A and B are shown apart, each in its own frame.
Chain A
């Protein structure tokens, strides 16, 4: 890991990965959306409303994946002072917030016809809303200081404190009675979702994941460039 923390080496690898990630994302989105919206069967209970799942579930997975990686980056930044870790966390935050917003929005649209309500304060929905606020809080906090180093440090601590929310989200549907249904894919005893619906879902998950990698590489590149500009300006001023 330490070898890749060098920004120059990272950029070399990232630039090679970028076109592949972008291409894979486009292909998976095209295939996944076609399969999910047109070529997959309706559900025996939900009818065509089940198709919301092909957006909702990958967005939910990505919201938790993004936060987990940001928390690991925050730990790396606090303990080992990796130069890239803070740049990564800042680059990933708006993406994670976007995934979480998409997850909450599509979930609400599904809940209205299926449950009979747009929103309830059950453990799963509430903990995901907390995750959304953690993203927003982090983004506000890192830029709230004149000294970027202090902002980053405060943000990293917030990310690590908020990390307790990730297992709460995952297991909320098992620990407490919730209106939200339990896990269908990542559960003991195998998925409880028919193969004809699982494949489009996994394709969409791959599409979201590679989209994330492509955009986060672009944002890290921009973040590193901004840091360089700042250092050069400081050098000129002295």
Chain B
């Protein structure tokens, strides 16, 4: 019995030490583990000429097509927002009011020139009619309208809300 107890103690101590070491390592490398910076992070720590990823919501009403495949929009974390320009094909889930992650460089003019654009999905899953009902009720916190790169599924659901 005492031998089992001793083995249990050794095991518990070893796991405790390992857990602490892991927690310290992960918190020390916090800046390297995050996948993207928010516009506020970027304002606090300017990246210079480095290639970085920024992320946030595409500000509603900020999307403009500049002809060809170039688009400009604002990425916001609700505290700060950052103008972004991108040339290329937009991912399916790219919408105003939805999350986006852009990789590129911050120009001297304060415009973020993105070379790669990824759409970020949130944790909400619902059928189109539920989303419509929420939209009609003016539910706050409901994400994006204006599906610009969407299939017919989404377009019909937007049409239905504007009778």
Q: Residues of A with Cβ closer than 8 Å to B?
A: 41-50, 53, 75, 78-80, 113-117, 120-123, 160-161, 163-164, 168, 175-179, 181-184, 187, 192-194, 196-197
Contacts and interface: CB of A to CB of B under 8 A. Distances in A.
A32 to B, nearest CB: 16
Given A75-B11, A80-B4, A123-B33, A181 B121 contact: yes
A116 B129 CA distance: 26
A184 B124 CA distance: 7
Given A41-B128, A115-B93, A181 B153 contact: no
A2 to B, nearest CB: 11
Contacts of B120: 115, 179, 181
B99 to A, nearest CB: 8
B122 interface: yes
A194 B4 contact: no
A81 B11 CA distance: 13
Interface of B: 4, 7-8, 11, 14-15, 18-19, 22, 26, 30, 33-38, 55, 89-95, 98, 101, 117-132, 143-144, 150-151, 153-154, 157
B92 A161 contact: no
Given A79-B7, A176-B33, A177-B35, A197 B119 contact: no
Contacts of B151: 47
A12 B14 CA distance: 36
B18 A164 contact: yes
A184 B125 CA distance: 8
A193 B11 CA distance: 40
Contacts of B35: 120-123, 176-179
Interface of A is mostly: loop
A177 B127 CA distance: 27
Given A113-B91, A116-B117, A181-B120, 4 more contacts: A160-B14, A179-B35, A182-B123, A194-B126
Contacts of A177: 34-38, 55
A106 to B, nearest CB: 15
B112 to A, nearest CB: 16
7 contacts: A46-B93, A48-B153, A123-B33, A179-B120, A184-B123, A192-B125, A193-B123
Given A42-B153, A79-B11, A196 B101 contact: no
Contacts of B118: 115-117, 120, 179
Contacts of A53: 125
Contacts of A193: 123-126
A113 B127 contact: no
